[in-house]
Homo-oligomer: A and B are copies of this chain.
Amino acid sequence: MKEALYLQVKNVIAKRIKDGVWKANMAIPTEVELIEEFQVSRTTIRQAISLLVQEGVLEKRQGKGTFVKSHELIEQLGHLTGFAEESIKRGFKPGSRLIKWEIKENLMYEKSLLNRLKEEEKILVIERVRFMDHIPVAVERTYWPEEIGNIHLKEDLNTVNYYEVLEKNEILLKKAKQQISAVNASVYDAELLGIEPGTALLEMTRVSYGIDGKPIEYAKTRYRTDYYKYNITLKR
């Protein structure tokens, strides 16, 4: 079955905004211009635009035109992003530094979360500090089943983007369950982040699942809240 015309148009427009061809606060072409470009009726153009308005990507102003909304408003619940993607979206340069990695045999709690309790498999633990523009913003501890860990160990752990590597190896993530809490910074955390021990940190605990529904990663990250907060848009 072919995709509806108005959805095709919608996707092209959405892509241009995502790629920065049409930037925030700029007017997109008028309806008449879009009719000519896509060779479709005005109804179809308006249907496509109307969807993007509903999603908060575009905004119409009568008599003036249709405008791209600033990025902050686009963020939606339901998108799975890593730290790097998140930083860039906020205008910071993401970075990281490896603290240590180990292969462990007896992490029963983590193995149970990864659903590998019965297996012989070992767990790779990687600990890194994450940066935004040279400012240490988070301490990240990720736990990987050995078979997947071995893929990461071929990379430079200081710079590796885990999700890109997984994607390159055709291991695709489908969903993640995330739990958000708050903790007081330990002396160890505080030293890595350059803050006072006891400072309240945002703690994000995540289990990511592959297309087959099997857990792939368990991660626990503690963020400084002066540089990172978590934004969600809830809809009815």
Binding-face segment, A21-29, A72-80, A149-157 = A72-80
Q: What count of chain A residues pass the 8 Å CB interface test?
A: 38
Main secondary structure of the interface of A (DSSP, over half): strand
1/0 contact string of A169-195 vs chain B (CB within 8 Å): 000111111111111100000000000
List chain B residues, Cβ under 8 A from A177: 231-234
Contacts of A229 in B (CB 8 A): 179-181
What distance in Å separates the Cβ of A62 from its nearest Cβ neighbour in chain B?
13
CA gap between A141 and B95 in the complex, in Å: 36
Q: Is A7 an interface residue (CB 8 A)?
A: no
Q: Point out the residues of chain B lying under 8 angstroms from A79, CB to CB.
A: 234-236
**A32-40, A105-113, A196-204 - interface stretch:** A196-204
- A residues 77-103 near B (Cβ < 8 Å) are 77-80
Bound-state Cα–Cα, A182 to B138, Å = 13
Given A77-B234, A232-B232, the answer on whether A201 and B182 have CB atoms closer than 8 Å is yes
